């Protein structure tokens, strides 16, 4: 088998396309917090009821994400992401017609979740296959699209809502998602071998021992302590992450912060997270993914403890800077760690299972619990305290993470 390595490596085109898809998908998704207050005002739903749609969406995003990862392993990301982009655009278009509680759960909780199932695993798994050297850096650049989306789309959504109402705003978001995601997906390719290329950093190809086939199968990964340590540490983070993304704007406004200034908190988190993703993704290549993860989750814990005493706007902005950097770093390191500890043989499927257990569980339960605790206590103090403590536990778990001793198997 012969493979060529041209002057321009197509993997960089994959990174650009994945970045743009991340930007649109997550920018739209994290605009939920901006739509949160208008929905409460119009329909009079409780915060727990309304945030429950976000929770349901994350549960199903994780479940659907497993299948999206498995389909990507088999058919490649172009088809999977194109179909999911169609569902995502449709979901937001349908949200513009919402008139009843069950419709919010159907359109956002199910249809949008189908679209978002391609927002993590197919894209990061594809990048892991294209890059061996600089894998963390390239993953960081791709996942920086999440931060860019948070930086761009919530303020735009807020402006659209102020001028045209939340229904028209959802139409704009839906059309944008449908068009941009479908177009960008056409530039994705599953792995370098499809184009007769080598992964970046791979000097030679072994016919029956390709790097693409190395690693544990899903069942083997599930039997290791490393899988569960990674999942639990991720869960400790996402419980707080989900709550912040849904409730931080409402929390700040409840303390007298003006609506526009409160919306900037989410924007600032997204903007700073771009640096966190790129810097900590690169750090993962140089000092190791485990150490980088510990640093990032420690910053998250510190920021959540700070949030307990934040009352003024500058304090919220400082929180956003520290949390945003740590959050950005955490989100970029999981895919490289899956590749490091379990190999690439079933990367998409294993990644999907970790995300469903650790990511989906936390992102789904976190906002719902925070909303419920607010409804019964009148503030978010207890919820944020719990999530700060859990972040410390997540850091502690990582000190028990050791390499998988079992020899990697091959197809």
Q: Is the dihedral of CA 40, 46, 51, 56 positive or negative?
A: negative
Per residue in 306-339, pLDDT (tens digit) is 999 999 999 999 999 999 999 988 888 888 898 8
Q: Is residue 405 a part of any domain in this protein?
A: no
Gap between the Cα atoms of 305 and 403, Å rounded? 32
Per residue in 276-309, pLDDT (tens digit) is 888 998 898 889 899 999 999 999 999 999 999 9
Q: Is residue 45 a part of any domain in this protein?
A: yes
Tens of pLDDT along the chain (411 residues)? 444 555 678 888 999 999 999 999 998 987 887 888 788 888 888 877 887 887 788 788 878 888 888 888 788 899 999 999 999 999 999 999 999 889 999 999 999 999 999 888 889 888 888 887 777 788 888 888 887 887 788 888 888 888 899 899 999 999 999 999 999 999 998 878 776 776 766 554 443 344 445 778 888 888 999 999 999 999 999 999 888 988 898 899 889 998 888 878 988 888 888 888 889 988 988 898 999 999 999 999 999 999 999 999 999 999 999 999 999 888 888 888 988 888 877 777 888 788 777 877 787 788 889 988 998 999 999 999 999 999 999 999 999 999 887 544 444
Please give the angle made by the CA atoms of 386, 253 and 248, to the nearest 5 degrees: 35
Determine the 3-state secondary structure of 200 from DSSP: strand
Determine the 3-state secondary structure of 215 from DSSP: strand
Cα–Cα nearest to 392, from 291, 321, 298: 298
Q: Is residue 32 a part of any domain in this protein?
A: yes
Q: What percent of the chain clears pLDDT 70, i.e. is strictly above it?
A: 93
Query: Which tokens hold the place of 104?
Result: 């919010």
Exposed/middle/buried for residue 261 (C-beta within 10 Å: 0-12, 13-18, 19+): middle
Residue 171 belongs to a domain with what CATH number?
1.20.1250.20
Determine the 3-state secondary structure of 343 from DSSP: strand
Instruction: Give yes or no for a contact between 51 and 370, defined as CB atoms under 8 angstroms apart.
Output: yes
Q: Is residue 81 a part of any domain in this protein?
A: yes
Query: Which tokens hold the place of 83?
Result: 């179909």
Q: Is residue 318 a part of any domain in this protein?
A: yes
The boundaries of the domain holding residue 149 are: 11-195+211-398
Q: Is residue 114 a part of any domain in this protein?
A: yes
Q: Is residue 172 a part of any domain in this protein?
A: yes
Number of domains in the chain: 1
What pTM was computed for the model?
A: 0.73
């Amino acid at each position: 088998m012969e493979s060529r390595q041209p002057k321009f490596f197509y993997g960089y085109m994959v990174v650009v396309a994945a970045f743009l898809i991340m930007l649109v998908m997550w920018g739209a998704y994290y605009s939920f917090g901006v739509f949160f207050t208008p929905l409460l005002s119009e329909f009079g739903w409780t915060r727990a009821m309304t945030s429950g749609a976000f929770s349901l969406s994350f549960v199903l995003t994780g479940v659907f994400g497993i299948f999206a990862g498995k389909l990507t392993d088999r058919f490649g990301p172009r088809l999977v992401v194109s179909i999911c982009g169609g569902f995502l655009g449709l979901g937001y278009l349908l949200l513009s017609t919402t008139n009843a509680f069950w419709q919010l759960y159907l359109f956002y909780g199910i249809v949008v979740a189908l679209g978002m199932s391609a927002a993590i695993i197919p894209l990061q798994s594809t990048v892991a296959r294209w890059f061996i050297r600089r894998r963390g850096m390239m993953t960081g650049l791709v996942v920086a699209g999440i931060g860019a989306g948070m930086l761009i789309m919530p303020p735009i959504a807020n402006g659209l809502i102020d001028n045209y109402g939340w229904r028209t705003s959802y139409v704009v978001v839906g059309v944008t998602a449908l068009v941009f995601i479908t177009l960008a997906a056409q530039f994705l390719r599953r792995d370098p071998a499809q184009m007769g290329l080598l992964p970046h950093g791979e000097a030679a190809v072994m016919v029956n021992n390709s790097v693409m086939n190395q690693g544990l199968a899903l069942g083997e990964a599930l039997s290791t302590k490393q899988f569960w340590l990674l999942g639990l540490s991720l869960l400790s983070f996402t419980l707080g992450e989900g709550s912040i993304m849904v409730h931080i704007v409402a929390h700040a406004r409840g303390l007298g912060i003006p609506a526009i200034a409160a919306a900037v908190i989410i924007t600032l988190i997204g903007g700073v997270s771009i640096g966190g993703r790129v810097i900590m993704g690169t750090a993962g290549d140089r000092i190791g993914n485990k150490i980088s993860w510990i640093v990032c989750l420690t910053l998250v814990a510190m920021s959540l403890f700070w949030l307990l005493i934040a009352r003024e706007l500058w304090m919220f902005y400082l929180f956003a800077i520290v949390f945003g950097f740590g959050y950005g770093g955490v989100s970029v390191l999981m895919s490289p760690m899956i590749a490091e500890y379990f190999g690439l043989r079933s990367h998409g499927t294993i990644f999907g299972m970790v995300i469903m257990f650790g990511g989906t569980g936390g992102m789904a339960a976190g906002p719902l619990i925070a909303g419920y605790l607010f409804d019964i206590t009148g503030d978010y103090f207890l919820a944020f305290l719990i999530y700060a403590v859990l972040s410390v536990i997540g850091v502690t778990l990582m000190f028990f993470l050791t390499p998988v001793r079992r020899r990697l198997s091959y197809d």
